[in-house]
A and B are shown apart, each in its own frame.
Chain A
Amino acid sequence: MLDAAVVIDPLVGQVARGVVPPVVVAAVLLGVEWVRLRRVKSGLPGRGWALPVAMGAGWFAALAALEQVPPLPPITGIQGLGWAVLAIGGVASIDARWPRSGLLWWVGVVPAATLATAWLLLRRLWQGWTATEAMTQTGLAAVGMMGLAVLVEIGARRGPGWVAAAVLSVAATGGALVLAAGSALQGQLAGALAASAGCVAAWSWLDGRDRIGRGASLTFGCALGGLLLAGRHFSEVEPIPLLAIGFVPVCAMLGAVPRRWPRWCRALAALAIAALIAGLAVAFGAPEDPYGY
């Protein structure tokens, strides 16, 4: 019997393990939602529940496929990030299905989720930091993830659902290429996030009514924000490309401006600007052949 490693090219195998699990998980969850929508014609409560959990669980599945199912309690920062994103996806899904007040979400859930994610990601570095540094770095990380989630949410509200998701996919793809310069695993995980966002984009385009909500925004913000922070803290990737990638979602907002443009023009403009910024970040952030040894 032939070994899979012999049959499948290693590079193809690595890409497949990063991309296939999110696509499969998203297909299953969004398929369930599709069946539900077919039965309930209108007045649909709790729309969008599948999007955050598709992102969170799909990304977690990729992490498990690329490495192993992360242990509990997590040991490394990436493992902590994995559990955090999975949990946030779950909580966000519940919030989408049975919505609570926006105040509780933005003042309670979001700060708690981003702080917990930042702590799980960076706690191993606390041993080398002073108390002030630890609090500052963790707090800034949480604020960054929170900012990313807010920007995604604003962009998603102002543009067509599939455009926002597509922009996120572009941002995560850029993140994958930048992060891969320092860590193949982190790059693959950003690629997995791009696959998740791509599935959501396809779903939003097909359905036409389902869109990125606050739950999916938070899940994405913590996942991509966490990966970019890991790239900076663990792999010493240059900060400017990481910042550019982190704020690419701002371009989602540009899709709605100027409003007099036809909808498809705004969508294309948003994607073009996002792709341009991501491309520049990749050009400046990914050195020549980091694995050329």
Chain B
Amino acid sequence: MIKLMVLPLGVALAAGLGPWSETGPTGTTPTPRAAATTYAVDTVHSSGIFRVKHAGAAYFYGRFDHLEGDMMFDPEDLGAAKLEIRVKTESVHTGAENRDKHLRGSDFLEAKQFPWATFTSSSVKAAGDDTFEVTGELELRGVKKPVTMTARHTGEGESRGTRRIGFETSFAIQRSDFGVSYGVKDGALGDEVTLTFGLEMVEKE
């Protein structure tokens, strides 16, 4: 399960406000806030993939087929932005059935004991045009570690009568930090895992 709090920074910057703004541009008058909008992860149009190096030679890629989560943000207040993403560990697929089974088992994800991996944001900061630095806590296999990632606002649009906004982020973790250390000592499988998420968030009613 991953919780991310992300804000469309461009909107906030256009309004002359930062996520840290509790007051108006003059620093004296409180700025009226727009009502926070909540979004849900479009589970069909969102993707989660990972890569890890095998035998020190090449990267192979896998995916998580089941993501869900929620986001809340107020365009006028980045500090109110929140994103939670939850990844179902059982949904891991790499194109090899035996490997998938192995990944779900005790050597890696322990999917029976830990059915979800979760990211929960704690702060969002502007990091440039349409990009945000998102800090939060990643819980994987029962271990919680702080993670910082850069999320890019990839666009906005409408489909089936609902407003959608998109973000993409890619960040690396050391899996041994989370107790997933199978094959690390032997160099059979890399310690660093790069996770990439493309998230389409659907505005809730």
Seen from chain A, the residues whose Cβ lies within 8 Å of a Cβ on chain B are 3, 5-6, 8, 10, 13-14, 17, 67-68, 75-78, 124-125, 128, 182-186, 230, 233-236, 289-293
| Top 4 closest pairs, chain A to chain B, by CB | A5-B187, A10-B186, A124-B113, A75-B142
A289 to chain B, nearest CB (A): 8
In the bound complex, how far is the Cα of B105 from the Cα of A76, in angstroms? 12
CA distance A6 to B114 in the complex (A): 33
Closest to A5 in B: B187
- Most B C-beta atoms less than 10 A away, residue of A186, A230, A234, A291: A234
Q: Quick check: A182 and B105 within 8 Å, CB to CB?
A: yes
With A5-B187, A14-B186 already in contact, the answer to whether A67 and B110 are too (CB < 8 A) is no
Q: Is the interface of B mostly helix, strand, loop or mixed?
A: loop
Q: How far is the CA of A230 from the CA of B107 in the complex (A)?
A: 12
Please state if B106 and A185 are interface contacts (CB–CB under 8 Å). yes
B96: interface (CB < 8 Å): yes
Whose C-beta in chain B lies nearest to the C-beta of A75?
B142
Among the 9-residue stretches B128-136, B163-171, B177-185, B192-200, the one with 4 or more Cβ atoms under 8 Å from chain A is: B177-185
Cα(A6)–Cα(B188), bound, Å: 10
A293 CB contact (under 8 Å) in B99, B179, B183: B99
Which B residues are in CB contact (< 8 Å) with A13?
185-186
Q: Which residues of A contact B204 (CB under 8 A)?
A: none
Return the chain A residue nearest B178 by Cβ: A75
B145 contacts A by Cβ under 8 Å? no
Chain A to chain B contacts (Cβ below 8 Å), 9 pairs:
A6-B187, A10-B187, A10-B188, A14-B186, A76-B141, A124-B112, A183-B105, A234-B105, A293-B98
| Distance, CA A78 to CA B110, complexed state (A) | 10
Q: Does B45 contact A (CB under 8 A)?
A: no
Decide if B36 is an interface residue (CB 8 Å cutoff): no
Instruction: Give the number of chain B interface residues (Cβ < 8 Å).
Output: 24
Partner of B102, one of A3, A14, A75, A290: A290
Q: How far is the CB of A225 from chain B (nearest CB, A)?
A: 16
Chain A residues near B99: list those with CB within 8 A: 293
Q: In whole angstroms, how far apart are the Cα atoms of A67 and B179 in the complex? A: 8
What is the CA–CA distance of A291 and B103 in the complex, to the nearest angstrom?
11
Assess the A125–B110 pair: CB atoms within 8 A. no
Docked complex Cα distance between A293 and B105 (Å): 15
In the complex, whether B8 has a CB less than 8 A from a CB of chain A is no
Q: For B98, what are the chain A residues with a Cβ–Cβ distance below 8 Å?
A: 289-293
Instruction: Given the known inter-chain contacts A5-B187, A67-B181, A293-B98, please indicate yes or no for A78 contacting B106, CB distance below 8 A.
Output: yes
Q: How far, in angstroms, from A101 to B107 measured CA to CA in the complex?
A: 41
Verify B112–A5 contact, CB threshold 8 A.
Answer: no
Inter-subunit contact B187/A75 (CB<8 Å) = no
B102, B107, B143: residue with the most chain A Cβ atoms closer than 10 Å: B107
Least Cβ–Cβ distance between B169 and chain A, in angstroms = 26
Closest to A17 in B: B185
Whether A234 lies near B179 (C-beta < 8 A) is: no
Which of B106, B112, B143, B188 lies in contact with A125, CB distance below 8 A?
B112
User: What mask results when residues 138 to 155 of chain B are scored 1 for a CB within 8 Å of chain A, else 0?
Assistant: 000111000000000000
Are B105 and A68 neighbours in the complex by a CB distance under 8 Å?
A: no
A286 to chain B, nearest CB (A): 13
B75 at the interface (CB under 8 A from A): no
- A119 CB to closest chain B CB (Å) equals 14
Min CB gap B124→A, angstroms: 29
Of A76, A235, A290, which one neighbours B142 at CB under 8 angstroms? A76
